[in-house]
Amino acid sequence: MAEELDDRARDVLRAVVQEFITSGDPVGSQQLTRRGEFEVSPATMRNVLSELEALGYLEKPHTSAGRIPTNQGYRFFVDSLLQLKSPSPADQQLIEAGLANVGSGGVEERLQEAGKVLHQLSRHAGVVLIPRPSAGSLQRIEFVRLGDDRALAILVGQGGQVQNKLVMLDRPVSAEELIHASNYLNELLRSAASIEDVRSRILQELETQRTQYDEVVARALKLGAAATDVSSAERVVIEGTGSFLESPEFAEDVRRMRALFKALDDKHKLLSLLDRVQRAREMQIFIGAESEFGSQGDVTVIASPYGTDDQVLGTVGVIGPTRLDYQRVIPLVNFTARVLSRVLKSE
């Protein structure tokens, strides 16, 4: 599609996208000619806009209005027309300080802070994919008794990340039984390659114990099976979803807003999208329908992986309307992922 556009058409498309991102109003030919960068008549400008509309890069929201970018137009803008710069020194300082100055909550608190910083700077929702202990990183499992029918399973990774899971009990369990269960399960961890491997071994052992009637061991295995069945919803943290209320595209359309929040609440879709970024091992930008969010393809997800030199641990990014400031947000996400990776390596 790139060869279809000459230099003038590219410049006009860039101007339309920039004007619409800034104002939120449809962009007309006279508005563009007043910018002073195009030495063409309004009639020529109208012809260029019509060409861009025919090619699918622009559309008219209604008959008498100017034009706005389509998702295809945004995609071409991001892939071919956008000129990116590093975040401003002030933004870089805020990111550095935000990820350095956290309390004693460890890795997970630092990851949540990354989402908060991105929300603060972008004014859109910040999203973080929390790494599950995996690929040999699960160090131990501990249990804390919360009552007769509940216990907290604490999964501790080699890199210091901690993931908690509430486990419901089918009968009262004493603190001593939970300690025994932890000790037994941690023996299984020593030769396991991943959390999936741990869970597989636990289930196999549990099947064996059903025939041996060792109630204590079976109890430990049941707790281990429940603890390692890590919910996807616990892995995705979103900060600042209320920012969509500030966007006219959603604030003025209750039906669209409801559909968006319903989509965001479906953490499995979001997890799948962020996992794609993690597997790609590089920044990904999903525009409109590519993101699987929003009722009419009106949401963009910009996300970048973070991790150590030899392992991608998770993903950090921003979720906002398609009419977001790509030139500002893309470098913010990229820089945050780099700082987060550096900080985690020094933990």
Report pLDDT for 328: 95
Domain extent for 269: 89-130+235-345
Are 335 and 256 found together in one domain? yes
Report pLDDT for 248: 77
Residue 308's contacts (CB-CB under 8 Å, 6 or more residues apart) are 159, 341, 344, 345
Report pLDDT for 333: 97
**DSSP states of 130-168:** PPPS-TT-EEEEEEEE-SSSEEEEEEEETTS-EEEEEEE
pLDDT at 256 over 80: no
6: CATH: 1.10.10.10
In a 13 Å sphere around the CA of 218, the CA atoms on its Cβ side amount to 10
The 3-state DSSP class for residue 274 equals helix
Are 63 and 96 found together in one domain? no
pLDDT at 119 over 90: yes
Q: Among 233, 243, 231, 272, which Cα is nearest to 126's? A: 243
Are 209 and 149 found together in one domain? yes
Report pLDDT for 209: 57
Percent of the chain predicted with pLDDT > 90: 30
Report pLDDT for 233: 44
Are 97 and 58 found together in one domain? no
Report pLDDT for 191: 64
Are 36 and 62 found together in one domain? yes
152: CATH: 3.30.390
pLDDT at 292 over 60: yes
Give the best-scoring range by mean pLDDT among 110-119, 164-173, 198-207: 110-119
Are 121 and 74 found together in one domain? no
Are 221 and 148 found together in one domain? yes
Report pLDDT for 172: 82
Report pLDDT for 213: 46
110: CATH: 3.30.450.40
Q: What is the mean pLDDT of residues 161-181?
A: 79
**DSSP states of 12-79:** HHHHHHHHHHHH-S-B-HHHHHTTSS--S-HHHHHHHHHHHHHTTSEE-SSTTS-BEE-HHHHHHIII
Number of domains the chain contains: 3
Are 242 and 328 found together in one domain? yes
pLDDT at 3 over 60: no
Measured CA to CA, the distance from residue 316 to residue 232 in angstroms comes to 16
Measured CA to CA, the distance from residue 347 to residue 345 in angstroms comes to 6
Report pLDDT for 263: 73
Measured CA to CA, the distance from residue 303 to residue 314 in angstroms comes to 10
199, 132 Cβ separation under 8 angstroms: no
Are 144 and 279 found together in one domain? no
DSSP structure class, residue 86: P
pLDDT at 135 over 50: no
Q: What is the mean pLDDT of residues 208-221?
A: 62
With cut-offs at 50, 70 and 90, classify the pLDDT of residue 136: very low
Q: How far is CA 230 from the centre of its chain?
A: 18
Report pLDDT for 294: 58
Characterize the bridge pairing of strands 236-239 and 162-168.
unpaired
174, 146 Cβ separation under 8 angstroms: no
DSSP structure class, residue 80: I
Report pLDDT for 319: 92
Q: What is the mean pLDDT of residues 188-201?
A: 66
Structure tokens at 303: 């996300």
pLDDT tens-digit map of 82-102:
989 999 999 999 999 888 876
With cut-offs at 50, 70 and 90, classify the pLDDT of residue 329: very high
Are 266 and 332 found together in one domain? yes
Measured CA to CA, the distance from residue 31 to residue 73 in angstroms comes to 19
